[in-house]
Chain A
Amino acid sequence: MIKGGSFYFSKSHEWVGRDSNNKYHIGISDFAQSELGDIVYVSLPEAGKTYKKDDKIGEIESVKSVSEIYAPVELKVISVNSKLNDTPELINQDPKEAGFIAEVEISNDSDAEGLMDENAYKTFIADSRHE
């Protein structure tokens, strides 16, 4: 569904993906899922709701940690990936496709473009590892 689109990343490791139909999805990065380990529970955002950038929109739990999911840009949730309720491991298996968090609407395309692209994000991770 997001195939062939472009991905943009936040410093808190969420992605925004724009597909060929100009539809937007959000999720968490491959790096984030690997740091979390086996994901056992996801609390999803509310469909129909508008969130400002950096608002807390949900939570991801592994056995012994909890991480918050933040809105990478200002967005409105169109629908959530309800498959995650029963199979949260989709995020581990396929964070950018089947493990997406929600389909969203974005008011300004430039908001997403203002985030890091794949290359910038890779550098960002490498840098933060050295800290």
Chain B
Amino acid sequence: MNNFRYFPNSKKDIAKLYRVLGVKDKKELFGKILGGIPLMDAALLTTVPKESDEEALYRFFLNIDSNIPAKNKTAVFAGGGIYNHFVPSAIDSLISRSEFYTPYTPYQPEVSQGTLFALFEFQSFIAEILGMDVVNASMYDGAESLAEAVLMAMRLSPANRDLPVSRKDDIIIISEGVNPSYTSVIKTFAGGTGVKIGKVKLNTQTGQTDIMDLKQKLANGGGRAPAVVVQQPNYFGIIEDLEELERLIHSNSNSGYNPSFIVSSTEPYSFGVINPPGFYNADIFAGEGNSFGNYMNFGGPLLGLFAAKKEYVRQMPGRIVGKTKDGKDRDAYAFILSTREQHIRRGAATSNICTNSSLNAVRAAIYLSLCSKSGFKEIASLNLKLAHILRDRLLSSGLFEPLYEGDFFNEFSLKLKINGNKHNNMAASEFIEKMAERDIIAGIAVSESAVLISATENNRLSDIEKYAENAKEVLNA
């Protein structure tokens, strides 16, 4: 039998290795190491298929690829946390360089300047877009990033942490405008501390976080709120009035608790058109960056963005790249403030995060460079306009009605009416499945009868027309 193609040691080499070690064969080798633990024979495993040559393997996956919705004929209008943006070829070409995708985390800075410099540029670009002081070198995804933001806010409040604080009376206040999956992830991560989660309703008219309700929630918590979390634009696509929210949150200081104003986003492309979280004095930003140069990849890997005010940097999770010099006074880059991290501070680290989303972050850096200043704004503006055109077109058919009236960026929610009858709603999931049969991913169900729909620069006017016409047929059935 020939050697398998990924193993550079020939049978002869392997025999040499055994000889040098004075061991006869695998059985003896593992027998000496394992003691009483049995050696398994993987060749007998029925769950593992037989060896595959490269061409057969490729055909197998090609076949899978051709049995799912085809990129070239499917119009995607689904968002809800991940968006169908255009990815320029230069990114794939650059990222396919082994020098980017096959190294480990850059712990040896002298031989990792490429990744470090690219991550430094990533941090710089994201800081510009968000209007925030310090951006880290990435988290797993928007939801986990947001959960870490909540944990960080808990470290910051109450300010006096001399006594062990019981978190049982603390409440993290989260707007119902935050993506429900994100809220679930916060529960998974922060649950261990005993902290409670308090939800703030949305204004039924505008779809924005209800200021009166937030006021009440802040008062009811007895002031023990380490954080208030909102999403911009929110889950239903609505642009929040961060100015008003900030005023309320930052004026709410109580028994050592100064709630951190945490802004999330699943679509930071919006900050090409609307004011970024830094403009509104957000303490922490934590959200998704997949829109920048990354494919949807059936939901992962994604790109968690994390940013904070400079004064909080020592409580930040994750790696941060800093600029410095080498011995000859040349610019050099390295991870900094590593003492926050698990490999040094172990149980007292700000986070357990280690491997994260470096390559996705480098993709984002390349993407944002390609976009450039004017392109970024122009694409953002295009998203805004296409979404508004689509919404107007759908509303004019009389088969939809708005769920909320507030301003939106590239995503909005509509209720469905069969035959235009207000009292005869079609289930959102049924509508989506029927549209899917017509090669249109029409959105995602956000309630029994409402659909969340997004439009990006990857949708054409003709796709919008196709959506409207097919929706008419489906809803008039």
Q: Nearest-CB distance from A88 to chain B (Å)? A: 12
Q: List residues of chain A with CB within 8 A of the CB of B339.
A: 41, 61, 63-66
Q: Which residue of B lies closest to A65 (CB)?
A: B344
Residue of A41, A49, A63 contacting most chain B CB atoms (<10 Å): A63
Q: List residues of chain B with CB within 8 A of the CB of A41.
A: 314, 339
A49 to B162, CA, bound (A): 11
Q: Which residue of A lies closest to B346 (CB)?
A: A66
Q: Nearest-CB distance from B322 to chain A (Å)? A: 11
Q: Nearest-CB distance from A124 to chain B (Å)? A: 27
Tell me whether B247 is interfacial, beta carbon within 8 Å.
no
Q: List residues of chain B with CB within 8 A of the CB of A63.
A: 338-339
Q: Nearest-CB distance from B449 to chain A (Å)? A: 55
Q: Size of chain B's interface in residues, with CB distance under 8 A?
A: 6
Q: Which residue of B lies closest to A67 (CB)?
A: B339
Q: Size of chain A's interface in residues, with CB distance under 8 A?
A: 7
Tell me whether B460 is interfacial, beta carbon within 8 Å.
no
- In chain B between 310 and 354, which residues have their CB closer than 8 angstroms to a CB of chain A? 314, 338-339, 344-345
Interface of A is mostly: loop
A65 to B348, CA, bound (A): 13
Q: List residues of chain A with CB within 8 A of the CB of B344.
A: 64-66
Q: Which residue of B lies closest to A55 (CB)?
A: B162
- In chain A between 48 and 70, which residues have their CB closer than 8 angstroms to a CB of chain B? 49, 61, 63-66
Q: List residues of chain B with CB within 8 A of the CB of A66.
A: 339, 344-345
A66 to B345, CA, bound (A): 7
Q: Which residue of A lies closest to B343 (CB)?
A: A64
A41 to B336, CA, bound (A): 12
Q: Nearest-CB distance from A50 to chain B (Å)? A: 11
Residue of A41, A49, A64, A66 contacting most chain B CB atoms (<10 Å): A66
A65 to B344, CA, bound (A): 6
Q: Nearest-CB distance from A78 to chain B (Å)? A: 18
A66 to B339, CA, bound (A): 6
- A-contact 0/1 string along B251-280, CB 8 Å cutoff: 000000000000000000000000000000
Q: Nearest-CB distance from A72 to chain B (Å)? A: 19
A64 to B314, CA, bound (A): 14
A63 to B338, CA, bound (A): 7
Q: List residues of chain A with CB within 8 A of the CB of B162.
A: 49
A64 to B337, CA, bound (A): 9
A61 to B313, CA, bound (A): 15
A10 to B345, CA, bound (A): 23
Q: Nearest-CB distance from B332 to chain A (Å)? A: 14
Q: Which residue of B lies closest to A63 (CB)?
A: B338
Contacts A63-B339, A65-B339 given; 9 further ones with Cβ under 8 A? A41-B314, A41-B339, A61-B339, A64-B338, A64-B339, A64-B344, A66-B339, A66-B344, A66-B345
9 inter-chain pairs at a CB distance below 8 angstroms, sorted by A residue, are: A41-B314, A41-B339, A61-B339, A63-B338, A63-B339, A64-B338, A65-B339, A66-B339, A66-B345
Query: Which A residues contact B (CB, under 8 angstroms)?
Result: 41, 49, 61, 63-66
- Which 10 pairs, one residue from A and one from B, show the smallest C-beta to C-beta distance? A61-B339, A66-B339, A66-B345, A64-B344, A66-B344, A64-B338, A65-B344, A63-B338, A65-B339, A64-B339
